[in-house]
Structure 1
Amino acid sequence: RLISGILAGQSFTSELNGDASIQSRPMKRIMTPLLSMGADIVSLRGNGCAPLRITGKPLHAAHYQSPVASAQVKSCVLLAGMYADGSTSVTEPVLSRNHTEIMLNYFGANVTSQGTTASIEPEPVLNGREIKVPGDISSAAYFIAAGLLTPGSEILLKNVGINPTRDGMLRVCKAMGADITLLNASTEGEPTADLLIRTSSLHGTTVEGEIIPTLIDEIPMIAVMAAFAEGTTVIRDAQELKVKESDRIAVVTEGLKRMGADIQPTDDGMIIHGGKPLHGAEINSYLDHRIAMSFAVAGTICDGTLTIKDGDCVKISYPEFYEDLYSLGK
């Protein structure tokens, strides 16, 4: 989705394709704003998904009102705006993660943000710079959950990104009663900190509204945490989960029910009545790395043996995940 914005403004033709998961994900959400800027972009199968053919051409400036809070859509428009004939902007219903805005400005672009609107000036002079890459909080989420749920645990996660547009996982954990201490905080470039995680007695909470875009990838792990916590957790406004690598509302519900959890899916989330004894089961990952990693954590805590079908899909984002997770129990 991001590279589509760059390719739309080039002087050549490109085709973008991917695996079965990529081919099932909706691309109309980036095709629509690019077409409004004069781009020539076609879904080759006519279904609004990859493969895409992009015939590069000069682009026009536009102000796009995005119907979804998506950093991928916003980033696509901003990147295309570098090749437009004037200032280009995108407005979201609520603010999504802002890594692209930070990075583009760091390289020399002129990106400004006001409320939920981000704008970019065309034809920036970009210069290569050294980049310090913080640890991904989406990957850290599994170790945060494991540390909170496993009796007698204390885990230190170093150099984790705590950008306010991405730190929803930490805020939800705090709302559930988590013992998390931030150490060695830094605001150089992307804000980072070391996270000290200690075993905690978690309780239910409500996850909704503007916090959802800051933790959309962490919701499967939050749902698993909620199943082990006392009380009821309600997740809503998260219909975006349906168009990830899998329908994560359906898949999380299916997996937790197999383990004995009391969970009901809703149109935009889940209702989880926690505190029920959970047991091992066979979990289908549906080739979704977030699902596999979330249930791997569950498997270290529940009674009995938990197996994950197609668990190798974690290689998409974290090839050493199982090795790192199981090393903590030694």
Structure 2
Amino acid sequence: RITVENPRVVAGEPVGDIRLAAAPLKAVCVGGDTVVRMIDEFPVFAVAACFASGVTEVRDAEELRYKETDRISVLCGELKALGVRVTERRDGFTIEGGRLAGGACDARGDHRLAMSLALAGLSAPSPVTVHHAEILNESFPDFAGQLKGLGATVR
């Protein structure tokens, strides 16, 4: 259950305050125009999909291969390192939800990936270590402090 409050436009982008209530996550299929609207959110979306019931599919997202890194390949590889059943495709990926074991992964110089993998550690049954996570200080200097506030151990 997600609601957006105080919707507005900032620098040409729609923004708002998000209010969440706990509920089980269900797998979805994302493609077409939706991909364009959430192109930078795929790392955190993929982490959420790890905890959803069912198989989440992302298609029509080949553009992700041409960002700072090949986000499809990097994201799939790092999630596999954490025990996720993920299948890489030319234009996207599928994630079989319900499993994220923990382990070590690498942010690969991508601040969005660093934050997303760190968030995965909040719900993983074993610790998650994100190597080269210092990149996230560029976009969210207090991210480590916020994680600590949620009970994470940050070194």
- Measure, in 2, the Cα distance between the counterparts of 1:283 and 1:328: 21
Counterpart among 220, 236, 239 of residue 62 in structure 2 = 239
Opposite residue 304 of structure 1, the aligned amino acid is: S
Number of aligned pairs?
151
- Change in Cα spacing, 1:185 to 1:253, as seen in structure 2 (3 Å) is closer
1:293: Cα distance to partner? Answer: 0.6
Counterpart among 294, 297, 304 of residue 119 in structure 2 = 297
Kindly, what percent of the aligned residue pairs are identical? 37
Opposite residue 313 of structure 1, the aligned amino acid is: I
Q: TM-score, normalised by structure 2?
A: 0.88
- Deviation string 1:207-237 (CA, Å, 9 cap, x unpaired) is 1001111110101111111111100111011
Pairing 1:1-330 to 2, within 5 Å after superposition: 179-186=1-8, 191-276=14-99, 278-329=100-151
- Measure, in 2, the Cα distance between the counterparts of 1:323 and 1:303: 22
Opposite residue 213 of structure 1, the aligned amino acid is: V
Bigger RCO of structures 1 and 2 (CA < 8 A, at least 6 apart): 2
Gaps of 5+ in 1: 1-178
Secondary structure in structure 2 of the residue aligned to 1:304: coil
Secondary structure in structure 2 of the residue aligned to 1:313: helix
User: Where is the strand percentage greater, Structure 1 or Structure 2?
Assistant: 2
1:264: Cα distance to partner? Answer: 0.3
Residue 16 of structure 1: aligned partner: none
Q: TM-score, normalised by structure 1?
A: 0.43
- Change in Cα spacing, 1:267 to 1:314, as seen in structure 2 (3 Å) is same
Give the number of the structure whose alpha-carbon radius of gyration is greater: 1
**RMSD of the alignment, in Å?**
1.9
- Change in Cα spacing, 1:213 to 1:189, as seen in structure 2 (3 Å) is closer
Gaps of 5+ in 2: none
- Measure, in 2, the Cα distance between the counterparts of 1:296 and 1:323: 12
- Change in Cα spacing, 1:189 to 1:287, as seen in structure 2 (3 Å) is closer
1:284: Cα distance to partner? Answer: 1.1
